[in-house]
Structure 1
Amino acid sequence: MPKYSVKVKWGKEMFPGVEVNTDDDPVLFKAQIFALTGVQPERQKVVCKGVTLRDEEWGNFKLVNNAIVLVMGSKEEDVPAAPVEQTKFVEDMNESELATALDLPEGLINLGNTCYMNATVQCLKTVPELRNALLNYNKNSGGGTAGELTAALSETVAALEGGGAGACASAAARMLRALHATAPRFAERAPGGHLAQQDASECWTEIVRALQQRLPVSAPPPVNADRTSVVEQYFGGTLDVELVCSEAEEAPTKARETFLQLSCFISQDVKYLQSGLRSKMSEQITKLSETLGRDAIYTKTSKISRLPAYLTVQFIRFYFKEKESIYAKILKDVKFPVELDVYELCTPELQERLTPMRNKFKELEESSVESSLTAKNKNHGDSKKDSQPKKALPYWFEDDVGSNNSGYYRLQAVLTHKGRSATSGHYVAWVLRGNTWLRCDDDAVTPVPEEEVLKLSGGGDWHCAYLLLYGPKICEIPEPTDEPMITEVTEEPLPPGPTAQA
């Protein structure tokens, strides 16, 4: 690999020892310069020995060790402001001004068709347990390419947590190099010489596979001691599978399978996420029948026997179109809910275990409705009850940390694709932070209403959901207080006394 150590000169500042790998796209070098100077890549003019660096290729831009690379360009805040500052409303602000005004988190710069990676990172970052494990990861612990990718993701998450735009750009460049080393197919070039667009689902799988190897659990659950990684603990589920031959009398075959995500196949009849998941749980497959000595049709029935805390669902939107030799996209509108209930997909044994927490949710909902009706009848709100502190109950089974003990989930991230093919278009992450939905379009982060997120169900050329990430719905109950309970007392007439005798 041609690597050089150069000096970057920007104005009066000199940055020695900057490592450049000319096997990477020039835009990665510009991202490094951005991290050093704060000058956005599109505002940079990078010159060495009279030759200007282009975004697409190095061309005649020749480097040697200790070469001086001149950078011209100013940071946005260095541009002179208008002499008279006028009041700006939120509706009139650009994305940069909006991010500053609303204290929005940082995004990740696009290094040339890297939106698939940026969107994946933003979605995975919404899982608190995964985020904490990454922030505490020992970046010097080795582990080959999986270790490098995990360390790069750890650095990227730390940068997104408050490292600033420069740190995010530098981390994204390292993340891309680590991803290329782990899965070289992501380094493929398009006919024009620039990095080709890649599939976000494949990127998600590669990153999760690396984390599965490198992020051990701090304390393995007592029962599921085989779940040795954070990924298996919080993303891993199990399926009880039964195979029944449709063409011969055979004893049903039973097995147990593991999964890190569920698939929603899109057919003509599938209009909702729930029906797409349900259809996948009962399907016809062809396999060798030992009784018949040939391939036969089997009915494969699956039921979930372990629910993970965080449920990943992939819409199977791409299929190979032989005539055009491309992976075409199914644009069909498939609705998905903010709150998802997967109780019907579970085994009877798991359903029985889910019932106690589901009953708590039901009691809490009935209590809330009753309080609302009481307050409405009294023509005032129960402000004291609204302000009462609440206690969050564990969302996992006591003997299985990282599971889901209710079957209820809440949507917390959506990864979307806009375009007609898997090898083109654009990926964006839509993530929930607190009670606010954010659209993370590379380095542009903007708030959006929940209604806009629900419109990402497909049906046209607009962004449509490709991957969904659901987190556990939390049951919050009122905290007991030390205050004496006050009950309403009504006066009743005293019983009549003895009557006077004449």
Structure 2
Amino acid sequence: MSTSYQVKVKWGKELYPDIELNTDEPPMVFKAQLFALTGVQPHRQKIMLKGATIKEDSWDGLKLKNLELPVGIKNLGNTCYLNAVVQCLKTVPELHKSIKEFKPKKTDSSASGGSGVASAMTMVEVDSGSLLTLAIQDCYRTIDSGKTAIPLVLVNLFRSTFPRFAEQGEQGMYMQQDASECWTELMRLLQQEVPAIDKEKTVKNFSSSLIDQFFCGEYSCEWKCVENEEEEVTHTTDKFQQLMCHITQDVKYLHTGLVARMQENITKKSAALDRDAVYTKKSKISRLPAYLAVEMVRFFYKEKEAVNAKILKDVKFPMVLDVFDLCTPELQKKLAPIRAKYKDMEERQLEEERAKKRGKPLSPSEKPKTKSLPFSFEDDFGSNNSGFYQLQAVLTHQGRSSSSGHYVGWVRWRGGEWLKCDDDEVTPVTEEDILKLSGGGDWHCAYILLYGPRILEMLDEEGKEEGKPAQEAKMETE
């Protein structure tokens, strides 16, 4: 039975949520944690739990409840790919909220014949896309209520809407499917169903839906004919919903794979030569979405075995991703002012870490008050205004082909805490566990990475409070 608990600690006006308390360790270890947070020496701490004072050397007499973790989604027979996608998308608060508030589009068809009253009656019909979105809504509402979701309606509607996911094997059982293909289909569906938020504040080309606002970026592309130096260079723009990281022998890091993808050779018809010719296509990002999905291209088709074989190679990915150098010079210029402010935040956080290592952590009264700044440009709601992203979900695959094995969603929960969502089994994991998902063997390998905006915390001079730490602190836990 678990002996680790999450407790809230209140000290004066300060509230510290989600502090770990392990009853396998002596109370002094817990007090040392509080010292690191508050600066109050352990021997000056008086800790109260539901009216009882914690003893110096034991936890005797204390009644604690285990940490209640979020719940998962039941596997209905090779549906882990769908469960993992649904869990990863749930980490986007704007999408989560919009799906929970979703109201279906209605199509009215007048009944014909009969009396005047009867002819005025209408039949309300809901299309399959709206029904499927409602099924996701029901799944989210069930999870949020603390009950395990049993997605019978969701799975049946998904298979009927997209028949290729209803493939059955020789024994009549539904077969495993590719989570990336599932991700793509669900995003297309939600793009049609979920309306934009504050549409008037968004760039016109990205205001048709919430998916366009928060997940779609834009490339500025330059085309040059390799076989005809005299042919004029042309420029185009392309939308994207995710970046691709092709895994080659030279790719050891995510960023390297992303950079390599920005230049490629493509064969297409040359009007000047009146035949197919090779062109160099150079792409730069001209619009960054708030949420950036990155697919690790781990599968390739093996004709001999007729399967999508897997590339197991280890490719490291960061918790904080910087895509500044993938952007156009024009966008880089727009990103620069906000990026400069991150340096102040990083220096402030570094100083706090140094103080902890010196054994003199800043007390709450000594820490400056901060406020979160918007992550989008004022004239483009749903964009990213810095080029910095924080990892918030990882969809992994374990196995040797995309149509077999097992898919799992790993999601950021609270701050630096993570959860492993293995169907209906949800367990806490650490950042170190997440970084081990980079591949290199038969363990879970990152297949889709979902990065969200890295929030900028700036000094809030108006909210700063003056005060001195108490000589003896009374702390209450719950």
Distance verdict in 2 for CA 1:105–1:220, change over 3 Å = same
Matches within 5 A, 1:13-412: 89=3, 101-139=66-104, 141=106, 144-165=127-148, 168-169=149-150, 172-226=151-205, 227-248=207-228, 249-369=230-350, 380-384=360-364, 387-412=367-392
- 1:180 Cα deviation (Å)? 1.0
Q: 2:201 is paired with a residue of what secondary structure?
A: coil
2: distance between equivalents of 1:206 and 1:465?
A: 20
- 1:287 Cα deviation (Å)? 1.1
2: distance between equivalents of 1:116 and 1:434?
A: 24
Whether the 8 Å contact between 1:106 and 1:162 is mirrored in structure 2 is: no
Q: 2:211 is paired with a residue of what secondary structure?
A: helix
Whether the 8 Å contact between 1:264 and 1:315 is mirrored in structure 2 is: yes
Whether the 8 Å contact between 1:246 and 1:299 is mirrored in structure 2 is: yes
After the TM superposition, which segments of 4 or more aligned residues of structure 1 sit over 3 Å from their partners? 87-92, 139-143, 367-377, 384-389, 481-486
Distance verdict in 2 for CA 1:218–1:371, change over 3 Å = closer
- 1:383 Cα deviation (Å)? 1.2
| Runs of at least 5 residues in structure 1 that lack an aligned partner in the other structure | 1-86, 93-99, 487-502
Q: 1:476 is paired with a residue of what secondary structure?
A: strand
- 1:482 Cα deviation (Å)? 6.4
Whether the 8 Å contact between 2:217 and 2:239 is mirrored in structure 1 is: yes
Distance verdict in 2 for CA 1:359–1:111, change over 3 Å = same
Whether the 8 Å contact between 1:240 and 1:305 is mirrored in structure 2 is: yes
2: distance between equivalents of 1:373 and 1:154?
A: 45
2: distance between equivalents of 1:154 and 1:220?
A: 22
Whether the 8 Å contact between 1:243 and 1:298 is mirrored in structure 2 is: yes
Residue 182 of structure 2 aligns with an amino acid whose one-letter code is: C
- 1:194 Cα deviation (Å)? 0.4
Choose which of 412, 432, 450 in structure 2 pairs with 1:469. Answer: 450
1: distance between equivalents of 2:142 and 2:392?
A: 21
1:105-136 Cα deviation digits (max 9, x unpaired): 11001000000000000000000000000010
Whether the 8 Å contact between 2:376 and 2:384 is mirrored in structure 1 is: yes
Identical aligned pairs, as a percentage? 50
Moved more, 382-391 or 271-280: 382-391
TM-score, normalised with respect to structure 2: 0.77
Whether the 8 Å contact between 2:221 and 2:282 is mirrored in structure 1 is: yes
1:279-330 Cα deviation digits (max 9, x unpaired): 0001111111112222211110000000000000001111110011111111
Whether the 8 Å contact between 1:315 and 1:467 is mirrored in structure 2 is: yes
Q: How many residues align?
A: 388
Name which structure has the greater RCO, CA cutoff 8 Å, separation 6+: 2
Distance verdict in 2 for CA 1:88–1:342, change over 3 Å = closer
- 1:160 Cα deviation (Å)? 1.2
- 1:460 Cα deviation (Å)? 0.8
1:405-443 Cα deviation digits (max 9, x unpaired): 000000000000000011100000000011211000000
Q: 2:199 is paired with a residue of what secondary structure?
A: coil
2: distance between equivalents of 1:484 and 1:410?
A: 30
TM-score, normalised with respect to structure 1: 0.74
2: distance between equivalents of 1:376 and 1:336?
A: 27
Distance verdict in 2 for CA 1:471–1:115, change over 3 Å = same
Pair 1:441 & 2:422 matched: yes
Distance verdict in 2 for CA 1:143–1:247, change over 3 Å = farther
| Runs of at least 5 residues in structure 2 that lack an aligned partner in the other structure | 6-21, 23-64, 107-124, 468-478
Q: Which has the larger radius of gyration?
A: 1
Whether the 8 Å contact between 1:143 and 1:214 is mirrored in structure 2 is: no
